[in-house]
Structure 1
Amino acid sequence: MEKKTVGLFFGGLSNEADISVISAKNIIKAFDYKKYNLVLVYWHKNNQFYILENAEEVNDLSGKKEIHVGDFSKLFDVALPITHGKYGEDGALQGLLEIQKVPYCGCRVLSSSLCMDKAVFKTFLAGHSIRQVKFDFIDLRDKKQSDVESWIEQIERNFELPVYIKPSNSGSSVGITKVTDFKNLKKAVREAARHDDKILAEQGLVNPREIEVAVLGNDELTISDPGELVLEGAFYDFDEKYTKNQTQVAIPADLEAQTREEIKKITEKVYHLCDCKGFARVDYLLADNEVYLNEINTLPGFTDISMFPMLMKSAGINYKDLITKIIKLAN
């Protein structure tokens, strides 16, 4: 039987393109070339796609083969997107692949969009009585300055410090501010607005624990034991994730059996509710023995320090097998 060819998509138009390249390099290293052929598809900031020989070529594309969307189905049988953030993770690339009738790994258009937009995601899950921290949001499009100011006053009235101000559509903790003095709310909203038109306010918890769970599967799921991020900084921001690398990881997290089971049960429920497919990472906050769902990451990182592959390893699935299983789940 002829080997299938996998198109590995990396790069992209978001502020997480560099992280995507690191994830791709790891996948290239661990890929099972006995089972599949691999084609590297680099999505450049100029919105063109290029075929590369190796991931180092992202810095010099002179003479590299530019390909068009219509070529996708001729070049590979299955697409494996590892494109974090806007356009790569929010359903846009997924829609492009569907139009070209190329099977792809991971969540479909609907679940990708739903989980990427924090405000819509939280509103949807509130309707299913999933416990989350208190939140509110504003869409700045068509809003007057006075509307924004009255929303900020509303946050001051209804929330206690600390409050997190976030862009609704951004990953890797980009554009997030932990507000510990209401005088800084306006500045935090301005910072978030640089990344998205929709701004989310979330009630901060006192010394929350950050718990993450990896999920693999379509209908039948493999759910890892929860792991914990033990933070050095005030919260798990971009620097803490990718540059300082001071965050300690505890896998499995030190949890009571009952809490662990509750988290796994919620994980299974929300994964299916949000129509997730292939793989995802589900993140929680834990405070005063209460479990709060934080978000679902539909294209988690595959860097050396990424939680998803580490959690799956603890569930007995090594990096190489994990990639193969993800490819097999493509549809």
Structure 2
Amino acid sequence: MEKPRILLLAGGRSQEHEVSLWSAEGVLAHMPFPTDLAVIAKDGRWLLGERAQEALRAKEAPTGDHPFPPPLDWDRYQVVFPLLHGPFGEDGTVQGFLELLGKPYVGAGVAASALCLDKDLSKRVLAQAGIPVVPWVALYRGERPFIPFDPPYFVKPANTGSSIGVARVEDYAHLEAALAEAFRYDPKAVVEKALLGVRELEVGVLGNVRGEASPVGEVRYQAPFYDYETKYTPGRAELLIPAPLDPGTQETVQELALKAYRVLGIRGMARVDFFLVGEEIYLNEINTIPGFTPTSMYPRLFAAAGVPYPELLRRLVELALSPV
């Protein structure tokens, strides 16, 4: 079989625009197939060819050239790789367009993408399936907050990633300001109970329907929580792969990740994040388009499992072309 040609989509309208371009640089450097880049600017217009490369070098594209749909020869590409973090890319919107085109793409489908990005809806499904999650409530803009558990809290926009709009709240008096910040990014927010003595664990999953789990990694840092700067500034966080866990705990985390992956109907890839408090394990959230930046955990987890970066990308493309 001839090598498939890939179209990599990066940038996007979300607050994670720059993160997407950092990820795209890593993927382009390791992709084993011929690949073209298209960048979606912050205004929703598209950049193609050399203009897309200029945006990649600048790590930002405030404005684009072409309105949607862009003037692309879609028949030229066998697989599309949407590397668009957050809303308008990781939420099923782009995936729906690619479904209409009949074009295979890397990663989760429309329903799973939308479900996983929404922290409230995904928790509801996971809890119903018996997977432990941190206590939370969802609030829409304008609603009076009633929180049935004591502070401290984490307040988050329901549909963002990279800790954008997230705040840790130590007492009820500061809840309103934190909610106002979250509502800047989304009309729905979640308020989660902040657990004490937490270890943060992450595991990668690769596959369709029946995925395979990577070793479990652990993130350690000095900041009050794993915020945007800590995630993407080299040296701010320490990534331990494998995490120093007893074999039973590692196996339980991997099993929960695979169960959640199947329950939510994910394809291709995901990074599943957990909290460990003593011996209690809680699933925090699932990222259907994990980061591929220099500080990202997902490619490192599979490298530790003996799947180097180019092989990981090759398998993701093959999974996009596979019916099961």
Do the two structures share a fold, i.e. TM-score over 0.5? yes
| TM, length-normalised to structure 2 | 0.93
Task: Tell me: CA distance 1:105–1:57, structure 2 relative to 1, closer, same or farther (3 Å).
Answer: same
| TM, length-normalised to structure 1 | 0.91
Q: Which residue of 1 aligns with 2:38?
A: 41
* CA contact 1:209–1:285 (8 Å) conserved in 2: yes
Query: Where does the alignment leave 5 or more consecutive residues of structure 1 unmatched?
Result: none
CA distance in 1, matches of 2:40, 2:73: 13
Partner AA of 1:5 in structure 2: R
Task: Tell me: CA distance 1:9–1:63, structure 2 relative to 1, closer, same or farther (3 Å).
Answer: closer
* CA contact 1:25–1:55 (8 Å) conserved in 2: no
Task: Tell me: CA distance 1:72–1:282, structure 2 relative to 1, closer, same or farther (3 Å).
Answer: farther
Q: Which residue of 1 aligns with 2:13?
A: 13
* CA contact 1:115–1:298 (8 Å) conserved in 2: yes
Q: Deviations over 1:160-203 (max 9, x none)?
A: 22111111001000001100122110100101010101010101
2:241 corresponds to 1:260 = no
Map 1:127-166 to 2 at 5 A: 127-140=128-141, 143=142, 147-148=143-144, 151=145, 154-155=146-147, 158-166=148-156
Q: Deviations over 1:37-75 (max 9, x none)?
A: 211111112222222248641158999788835735223
* CA contact 2:46–2:65 (8 Å) conserved in 1: no
Map 1:39-118 to 2 at 5 A: 39-53=36-50, 56-58=53-55, 59=58, 68-69=69-70, 71=72, 73-118=74-119
Single out whichever of 236-245 and 162-171 deviates more from structure 2: 236-245
Q: Which residue of 1 aligns with 2:286?
A: 296
* CA contact 1:52–1:64 (8 Å) conserved in 2: no
* CA contact 1:51–1:67 (8 Å) conserved in 2: no
| Pairwise CA distance, 1:4 | 1.7
Partner AA of 2:72 in structure 1: D
CA distance in 2, matches of 1:206, 1:67: 46
CA distance in 2, matches of 1:220, 1:205: 31
Query: Where does the alignment leave 5 or more consecutive residues of structure 2 unmatched?
Result: none
* CA contact 1:115–1:296 (8 Å) conserved in 2: yes
Partner AA of 2:113 in structure 1: S
CA distance in 2, matches of 1:307, 1:319: 12
| Pairwise CA distance, 1:3 | 3.0
Task: Tell me: CA distance 1:275–1:69, structure 2 relative to 1, closer, same or farther (3 Å).
Answer: farther
Partner AA of 1:103 in structure 2: P
2:177 corresponds to 1:196 = no
- The CA RMSD measured in Å over matched residues stands at 2.0
Q: Which residue of 2 aligns with 1:3?
A: 3
SS for the counterpart of 1:195 is coil
* CA contact 1:72–1:100 (8 Å) conserved in 2: no
* CA contact 2:6–2:36 (8 Å) conserved in 1: yes
CA distance in 2, matches of 1:200, 1:227: 26
Task: Tell me: CA distance 1:70–1:318, structure 2 relative to 1, closer, same or farther (3 Å).
Answer: same
CA distance in 2, matches of 1:63, 1:199: 30
Partner AA of 2:97 in structure 1: L
SS for the counterpart of 2:273 is strand
CA distance in 1, matches of 2:161, 2:63: 30
Which of the two has higher C-alpha Rg? 1
| Pairwise CA distance, 1:324 | 0.8
* CA contact 1:24–1:55 (8 Å) conserved in 2: no
* CA contact 1:209–1:287 (8 Å) conserved in 2: yes
Partner AA of 1:326 in structure 2: L
Q: Deviations over 1:283-330 (max 9, x none)?
A: 000002100001110000000110000101011100111111111110
Residue identity over aligned pairs, in percent, reads 37
2:246 corresponds to 1:239 = no
* CA contact 1:230–1:248 (8 Å) conserved in 2: yes
CA distance in 1, matches of 2:266, 2:19: 22
* CA contact 2:81–2:106 (8 Å) conserved in 1: yes
Task: Tell me: CA distance 1:67–1:52, structure 2 relative to 1, closer, same or farther (3 Å).
Answer: farther
SS for the counterpart of 2:300 is helix
